[in-house]
A and B are shown apart, each in its own frame.
Chain A
Amino acid sequence: GAVVSQHPSWVICKSGTSVKIECRSLDFQATTMFWYRQFPKQSLMLMATSNEGSKATYEQGVEKDKFLINHASLTLSTLTVTSAHPEDSSFYICSATLQGGYTEAFFGQGTRLTVV
């Protein structure tokens, strides 16, 4: 299957700083990438849909100024958590879908963010 690489796999940052998470599709072009957030023992909650070359579409309740998403190329999307606070600590996961056809989504390995 297709490979999606997410980096870093874990990060610890100080409250008030910003953190950037990268999501790359390694062997395919992804017109659409999705960003999810997962709390312990809970499901993945969609945060935003990222389309190459256009602004991301955010889900209700997700602050677009806090979670900046950039999808500059067909193989790279980034999520920047700005002015992070301890309540932003979570597991962030991206996924990418192949161009055209059905919805098979491939997931990155996730990034565990801890804000101290």
Chain B
Amino acid sequence: QKEVEQDPGPLSVPEGAIVSLNCTYSNSAFQYFMWYRQYSRKGPELLMYTYSSGNKEDGRFTAQVDKSSKYISLFIRDSQPSDSATYLCAGSGSARQLTFGSGTQLTVLP
């Protein structure tokens, strides 16, 4: 079993839709949870990070972590074509090493 499981998609939504991206993890030592966006042939860009359980909002993006169920979510409101990318979730314990999910490919159709 992978430490971080993520549905690879692909996921296509119309412009303006609410997008829900999800991951599950198995490592109880994870304290930090991140979402990265990766455009084709580029390095990942940090979107959001949360510590332990809870919600965090930044503009159109909301990250949620439920440590009791080991579930990580990212919501994108009012999705735009420019949001089309691969979204990677990641978890990290105290070692500062990131364990990534496989990524979900998202396409927002104009």
Chain A residues with CB under 8 Å of chain B are 1, 4, 6, 32, 34, 41-44, 46, 49, 91, 93, 95, 97, 102-110, 112
Q: Which of B12-53 contact A (CB under 8 A)?
A: 32, 34, 36, 41-46, 49, 51
Q: Which residue of B lies closest to A46 (CB)?
A: B97
Pairs A–B under 8 Å by Cβ, sample size 26: A4-B43, A34-B97, A42-B102, A43-B6, A43-B101, A43-B102, A43-B103, A44-B44, A44-B98, A44-B100, A46-B97, A46-B98, A49-B97, A95-B43, A97-B96, A103-B32, A103-B92, A103-B98, A104-B46, A105-B46, A105-B96, A107-B36, A107-B44, A107-B45, A109-B42, A110-B42
Interface size grouping (class) on chain B:
20 to 34
> With a CB–CB cut-off of 8 A, which chain A residues contact B88?
43-44
**Total residue contacts A-B, CB cutoff 8 A:** 57
Which A-B residue pairs are the 7 nearest by beta carbons?
A: A107-B43, A43-B102, A43-B100, A103-B96, A110-B43, A109-B43, A44-B100
Minimum C-beta distance from B59 to chain A (A)? 15
Q: Which residue of A lies closest to B32 (CB)?
A: A103
> With a CB–CB cut-off of 8 A, which chain A residues contact B97?
34, 46, 49
